[in-house]
Amino acid sequence: MAASVFDSPLYAKRFPTGDAGRLFTESAKLRAILLVIGNLAKVQAESGAIPAESGMFLHRNTMEVQIDPASLAQSIGTGRPLASALSDAFAKELEAPEHSQYLMRGAEAQAVAATADALRLRQFLTLCARDLAALPEKSTALTDLEAALPALKTAISQLWLRGLPAEDHTALAAALRLGDTPSAPLQAVLHALGSWLAALAGALSDANSKADARHAALASACRGHESAFAESAEVSEVTTTLHLPQLCLGAYSSLLLAQKS
């Protein structure tokens, strides 16, 4: 039995995740981190912060390298940040220490991972906006949630790296098509996202649970994850990994079910 219905071949049709499912795979997470790492190297090469040859080499190879998620398990198991473990695995794969010494220069691993998450969450919220708009009928609660979505997406879609020179910061934000001036701390923004997702699942349940009991089950699960996430003292790799994918996929599955009602 799979630990989550969203990863289960048995329940894939019962609790569909559609286009959102691919955003919450381990491969997608690693690819997003590599995208941030590669663009950081390219920007730093262009500004002269690292050698141009190294920056271009690293940028090109982040788009081509294939890292097996299982190969990182031992390092992650010791509590090492994912971005650091991935950077080390990438450097080992390159076998070019003259270039890999410049990986993530001046960037904190947790901030790299948070920025990579922002890239995936931006895509996820784009899907939510598309599918909310496609609902044939919407309650007042769903209409209000739809109206709140653009501001939430903007708040999420930020470059969460700090400490870079202003020129590099601006250039990296532009390369990733992210904002460079967050309006609130990361923890507040992610908690707002969790609250919005739980509210979405709840509103969909209110509108559809009499016709399909899956809505109520998904809403209950989302409320549990949102409550645990909101109570976390800080947003960390552990709390986001445990709760955020379940919240996103739970709410989105309910949204897909509502389209078929």
**Residue in this structure with the two tokens 């923890």, named with its chain if needed:** 187
- What's the confidence (pLDDT) of residue 1? 55
Task: Tell whether 178 is covered by a domain.
Answer: yes
Task: Tell whether 119 is covered by a domain.
Answer: yes
**How confident is residue 185, by pLDDT bands cut at 50, 70 and 90?**
very high
Q: Is the pLDDT of residue 2 over 80?
A: no
* 244 vs 260: which has the higher pLDDT: 244
Q: Is the pLDDT of residue 16 over 70?
A: yes
> What mean pLDDT is reported for the chain?
94
**How confident is residue 237, by pLDDT bands cut at 50, 70 and 90?**
confident
Distance separating alpha carbons of residues 181 and 117, to the nearest angstrom: 17
Q: What is the pLDDT of residues 169-183, one digit of tens each?
A: 999 999 999 999 998
Q: Which residues lie closer than 8 Å to 243 by C-beta, 6 or more apart?
A: 194, 225, 226, 228, 229, 232
Task: Tell whether 7 is covered by a domain.
Answer: no
**How confident is residue 239, by pLDDT bands cut at 50, 70 and 90?**
confident
**How confident is residue 232, by pLDDT bands cut at 50, 70 and 90?**
confident
Q: What is the pLDDT of residues 24-42, one digit of tens each?
A: 999 999 999 999 999 999 9
- What's the confidence (pLDDT) of residue 236? 80
Region 197-210: mean pLDDT is 95
Task: Tell whether 149 is covered by a domain.
Answer: yes
Structural domain containing residue 202: 17-260
Q: List the beta bridge partners of residue 108.
A: none
Residue 194 in tokens? 């969790």
Q: What is the pLDDT of residues 204-226, one digit of tens each?
A: 999 998 889 999 999 999 999 99
Q: Which amino acid appears at position 114 of this protein?
A: A
Cα separation values, 59 from 39, 48, 93, 95, 183, Å: 6, 15, 14, 15, 29
Task: Tell whether 3 is covered by a domain.
Answer: no
Tell me what percent of the residues of the chain surpass a pLDDT of 90.
Answer: 87
Tell me what percent of the residues of the chain surpass a pLDDT of 70.
Answer: 98
CATH number of the CATH domain containing 88: 1.20.200.10
Task: Tell whether 186 is covered by a domain.
Answer: yes
Task: Tell whether 9 is covered by a domain.
Answer: no
Q: C-alpha angle with apex 63: 59 to 69, nearest 5 degrees?
A: 115
Task: Tell whether 1 is covered by a domain.
Answer: no
Region 96-100: mean pLDDT is 97
Tally of structural domains, the chain: 1
Q: What is the pLDDT of residues 247-258, one digit of tens each?
A: 999 999 999 999
**Residue in this structure with the two tokens 């919240």, named with its chain if needed:** 247
